[in-house]
Amino acid sequence: MFAKKHLAALAISSIGLIGLPAFASDYTIDTKGAHASINFSIQHLGYSVLTGRFDTFAGDFSYDPAKLEASKVSVTIDTNSVNSNHAERDKHLRSPDFLNVDKFPKATFVSKNVVVGADKSSFDLVGDFTLNGVTKSITIAAKKVGEGKDPWVKDGYRAGFEGTTELKLKDFNVKMDLGPASQVVKLQLHVEGIKK
């Protein structure tokens, strides 16, 4: 009896060790319900912080709570949707001085690997970010916010994450120079995924 119990426990734990890919689920980022946002912030003159966001984007991710390091994310941003709540500034942001949206209407992020932190819930999401025609490897410091049953869909399931990263404007060929305090833009990402 005792041995049997042990055996069963061993069998169960070994499943965890093998980490069957079948446990990873695919999620669609809930942009339709606007439970996701891509916000940015940048110093203004070094005196304050200006914030804005991209209104339109889409993406999905695959996530297995037992095997966080196998997670994958891909997101496509419509650069035309840059919104800082100021018509002329947004027009300027779309122009070749900044995002060059006529030439590069899409920005993309595709994850390459995940480095799980010591606390097992935060992780570094490393991937290729393409903006303004430039592709660079970036690292998003991310963590899970929560997950659980979808209250509105039978057998539905939702999982959400947040993350931050920083980009040097010059790295992505942004022509406009906003001054020494404004060389880096921070991104704040909030995503909620609906299990497919």
Partner 1 sequence: MLKDSKSGYGLVTIILHWVCAPLIIFLFGLGVYMRGLDYYSPWYHRGPELHIALGLLVFVLMFLRLLWRKGSKDPDAISTISKSNLLAAKIVKVLLYVCVFIICLSGYFITTAEGAGASFFEIFSVPATVELSAKNVDLMGAIHKYCAWGLMGIVILHAAAALFHHFIKRDKTLVRMLKPATLTPTDTTD
Name the site residues for partner 1 (rule: CB under 8 A).
Answer: 80-82, 85-88, 90-91, 94, 101-102, 176-179
Are β-strands 184-195 and 25-29 bridged in parallel, bridged antiparallel, or unpaired?
antiparallel
Q: How far is the CB of 129 from partner 1 (least distance, A)?
A: 21
Structural tokens at position 116: 């799980």
Q: Please report how close the Cβ of residue 68 comes to partner 1 at its closest, in angstroms.
A: 37
Q: Between β-strands 134-149 and 157-168, what pairing exists: parallel, antiparallel or unpaired?
A: antiparallel
- Nearer CB in complex with partner 1: 153/176: 176
**Which residue type does 55 have?**
D
Question: Residue 37 or residue 80: which is nearer to partner 1 going by CB?
Answer: 80
One-letter identity of residue 188? Q
Backbone angles phi, psi at 23, to 5 degrees: -80, -20
Tokens for 196, please give them: 């497919």
Report the residue number, 78 or 147, with the smaller CB distance to partner 1: 78
Rounded to the nearest whole angstrom, what is the least distance from the CB of residue 95 to partner 1 in the complex? 8
State the minimum distance, in angstroms, from the CB of residue 117 to partner 1: 38
